Amino acid sequence: MNRVTGSYVVTESHNEEVHSFIPAALPPARPDLEPESYRDLNNKAELALAKLDGMSGLVASGEWLIYSAIRREALLTSQIEGTQATLTDVFDNEAGLSVANANDVEEVTNYLQAYKYVRQQIQSPTGLPVSVRLLTEAHKILLAGVRGAQKEPGNVRISQNWIGGTRPGNAVYVPPPPKEVINLLSDLELFIHNEETELPKLVRIALVHAQFETIHPFLDGNGRIGRLLIAILLESWGLLPEPLLYMSGYLKTHQTEYYRLLSEIRTTGDWESWIRFFLEGVIISAEEAQQSIIDIASLLAVDRKAVLYNSSSTLQTLRLFDMLPIMPKITVERAQAELQVSFPTANSAVKTLVLTGVLVETTGRLRGKSYVYEAYVKLLR
């Protein structure tokens, strides 16, 4: 492949001249994309997403699946950027328990809040569409009070950034100069809302993500916002009505190849290899999510039956069990608050779930106990 995907300009940054890359507007041209290079994979990926959507009915509440999928995506996209938090840390934090690496957990929590915000916006008739403004608002939430909080949260950069190396002069990649960023983002927004293109939606998402990472419009958080953009477009374009796909797992597993192919777009114009990689990722991620839903549905069905058949179970026991898929780590105090019952009633419900084998006590203490739906958490890991 020998396609020109942009141009280099000489600019000064940190008292040295550097070659900064300005990408051409989408879609790729001269030559146009080769449909035969992605057609079959795209069909398979669309089918995998349709199957995934159809499986959400296997559980009583779609919110159970959304809860687990979003948290896995939040955790994995943050881990790509070096965050060390674990799923258990996230659940502990949500239960109000102390965690060792609180700063890393806060980064994951911020991502969850940013994700929640953008979903509310795109679902609301009066909300923001997929746009530069929506991304900057999400960016503000993402970096609030955490590592990167000094990197102008919510603002498109007005200074030069770079990827790899200790300065722009020895960087692996130098994104566009600040003065070009707004126009490049405007072009990207126009492409997102161009309804006349014949390109398949998944191919367009692959193009949008790569272009966003190439523009690198923020001083920090570009990777996470770029991957959030994938999730936003999957939902807003109707490919998945609910966020059940955690694509970052695939990208984390193949992180070296992920970065290499993004680089190849800039250096050789090879968009096709990136698109195939992305579509393969959608297929694999969708299949993994399908299996996860089957496993979760099977576990919940077996455990719910055990709770129903336990002679000590009450209505509150069953209510608490049905809450566990969206709060797998609990204390009696949290159970009391969620059930809106007395402490003894909540304590009795928790004890019954322990006797049933659903909950496991995690502290070994007489006071300040916490409990985890261990089998469920193991599935999510």
Which residues form the catalytic set?
Answer: 216
Annotated binding-site residue? 319:
no
Place of tokens 């985890």: 372
Annotated binding-site residue? 81:
yes
Locate 166 and state its tokens. Answer: 């200790």
Place of tokens 């609990």: 330
Give the list of residues 6+ apart from residue 169 with CB closer than 8 angstroms, or none: 14, 16, 18
Contact 123, 237 (CB under 8 A): no
Torsion, Cα 225 239 282 224, to 10 degrees, reads 10
Cα–chain center distance at 323: 23
Q: Name residue 324's amino acid.
A: L
Annotated binding-site residue? 249:
no
Annotated binding-site residue? 259:
yes
User: What stretch of H or E contains 207?
Assistant: helix 201-215
3-state helix, strand, coil in the chain (%, to 5): 60, 5, 35
How many CA atoms lie within 13 Å of 218's alpha carbon, on the beta-carbon side?
27
Ramachandran area for residue 221 (φ above 0: left; ψ -120 to 50: alpha; else beta): left
Annotated binding-site residue? 225:
yes
Round to whole Å and give the CA distance between 366 and 343. Answer: 16
Q: Is the dihedral of CA 189, 190, 193, 198 positive or negative?
A: negative
Annotated binding-site residue? 71:
no
Annotated binding-site residue? 193:
no
Pairing of strands 360-361, 329-330: unpaired
Locate 255 and state its tokens. Answer: 């992180």
Q: Name residue 228's amino acid.
A: L
Annotated binding-site residue? 54:
no
Contact 97, 356 (CB under 8 A): no
Which neighbouring-strand residues pair with 372? Answer: 329, 360
Question: Which runs of E-coded beta strand occur in the chain?
Answer: 6-13, 16-23, 329-330, 360-361, 371-372
Annotated binding-site residue? 216:
yes
Annotated binding-site residue? 36:
no
Round to whole Å and give the CA distance between 1 and 266. Answer: 12
Round to whole Å and give the CA distance between 227 and 248. Answer: 7
Contact 81, 226 (CB under 8 A): no
Annotated binding-site residue? 221:
yes
Annotated binding-site residue? 364:
no
- Per the annotation, binding residues are 81, 216, 220-227, 258-259
- Per the annotation, binding residues for ATP are 81, 216, 220-227, 258-259
